[in-house]
Amino acid sequence: WLKNSFAARVGGDEFAILIEDPGMAANPGYISARLEEALRFPIALNGLAMVSAGTVGITALDRDCLSVRDFIHRADTILYQAKRARVGERRRPNRDAA
């Protein structure tokens, strides 16, 4: 479902996914829900099952982003707002957050 997307580890337990599909990018709630669902999928190893969870922060590249650094800062701010709220909570961009 993430065709033509790029995922990378940016540090620690943080990852970034760049989504090129404008139709997909127009629905951040759907993206968040799918990512959270994938993170909760049980992983089996040696007869034991592990279930994990994660926090998703989403932002979009727009004219307000003057650089890649601004874009990453905005996404990081949104992510940490969600982490402070609780694990597994979705956050969307807030113009005052960055």
Average pLDDT of the residues in 13-40: 85
Q: Is 27 helix (H, G, I), strand (E, B) or coil?
A: coil
26 inside domain: yes
The token pair that represents 69 in the structure block: 């650094």
Q: Indicate the number of domains in the chain.
A: 1
User: What confidence score (pLDDT) does residue 98 get?
Assistant: 47
Residue 5: the pLDDT is 87
Residue 96 lies in a domain: no
Looking at residue 89, its pLDDT comes to: 55
Residue 20 in tokens: 């090129």
Please tell me which residue, 5 or 63, carries the higher pLDDT value.
5
Provide the pLDDT confidence category of residue 46 given band limits of 50, 70 and 90: very high
Is 33 a residue whose pLDDT tops 50? yes
| Closest C-alpha to 55, from 71, 70, 75, 69 | 75
Where in the sequence is the domain holding 26, given as residue range(s)? 5-90
- Residue 55 located in a structural domain: yes
